[in-house]
Amino acid sequence: MVAGENKQMKNQDLKKFQDSSFLVKSSCAISMLTAKLEIANAELFLELGRDVLIHAGGRIKSIDSILAKCRKKGFEPTYENALEKLNDMIGIRGVCAFEDDVYRMAGVLYSHKDLKIIKRKDYIKNPKSSGYRSLHLIVEIPVYFQEKMEWVRAELQLRTPAMDFWAGVDHQLRYKKGKKEAVLIGEELKQYSQVVAELDQKMMELRKRIDAI
Ligand code: 0O2
């Protein structure tokens, strides 16, 4: 999005989001956190003899999404507010093979001394009212750039492929909110969240039986 298209964020704030040092620091944090997930996977591979991490990736929050979230949380969409009050300006997603792998992965990350875990939200044990399930860790990682060290905050979402599949469909539905059919689909989707939870449990039990052969 270019500055002229956006009437709701001041140009000075838009410029700060588009500033190369913000973008470089954010993409460094994404690379470092993705590397941490891959290192944790390598460590767990030695222990379990299989990959725990199926996929990892990250993104910097879009201007539209920053605006929507600032509006939802009731504060002015300035660069400083977003950086201070939004935990997910930088988002990393790690898709792990099984539900217990999500916790294994989190456990390894807790042992990394150069990672501050400042908040944990377990939407697997306590799903959101929508049916959304994932383990969220709000983390801070040190990024060295232009002779300064800065703790950069990011939201790490850990989930299984089934949880990821469900969240992807739910995300598509978000853009249709308010329409009658969307409400019906949302109710049905909420039931499938339970189906996904049961499937995750069954797959985990099968894996344990396979391990025991
Ligand atoms: P997007 O577009 O995916 O980035 P906090 O201040 O941290 O307590 P926050 O950030 O609202 O409050 O935390 P929450 O509720 O844990 O949500 C953070 C992110 O989790 C969301 O970011 C989504 O990515 C994901 N999420 C949370 N609830 C749902 C849900 O019901 N369905 C789906 N599909 N994803 C969800 P954004 O900015 O809302 O969205």
Residue 133 structure tokens: 């399930």
Pocket lining: 88 vs ligand 1, CB cutoff 6 Å: yes
pLDDT for 179: 84
Atom 33, ligand 1: residue with shortest CA distance: 167
Quick one: which atom of ligand 1 is closest to the CA of 61?
Answer: 4
Residue 165 CA to residue 127 CA, distance in Å, equals 15
Residue 115 CA to residue 14 CA, distance in Å, equals 29
pLDDT along the chain (213 residues), means of 10: 54 81 93 98 97 98 91 90 94 98 98 96 97 98 93 98 98 86 94 98 97 93
Q: First CA to last CA across the chain, in angstroms? A: 54
Atom 27, ligand 1: residue with shortest CA distance: 132
**Phi, psi dihedral angles at 75 (to 5 degrees):** -130, 160
172 CA distance to ligand 1 middle (Å) = 14
Identify which of 67, 120, 132 to mutate to test ligand 1's pocket (most ligand atoms within 8 A of the CB).
Answer: 132
Pocket lining: 87 vs ligand 1, CB cutoff 6 Å: yes
Residue 151 CA to residue 53 CA, distance in Å, equals 25
The single-letter DSSP state of residue 41 is: H
Residue 109 structure tokens: 């990350």
171 CA distance to ligand 1 middle (Å) = 10
pLDDT for 137: 98
pLDDT for 4: 42
pLDDT for 133: 98
Pocket lining: 164 vs ligand 1, CB cutoff 6 Å: no
Residue 127 structure tokens: 């799903």
Laid out side by side, the sheet with 116-122 consists of 53-60, 90-96, 148-159, 135-145, 116-122
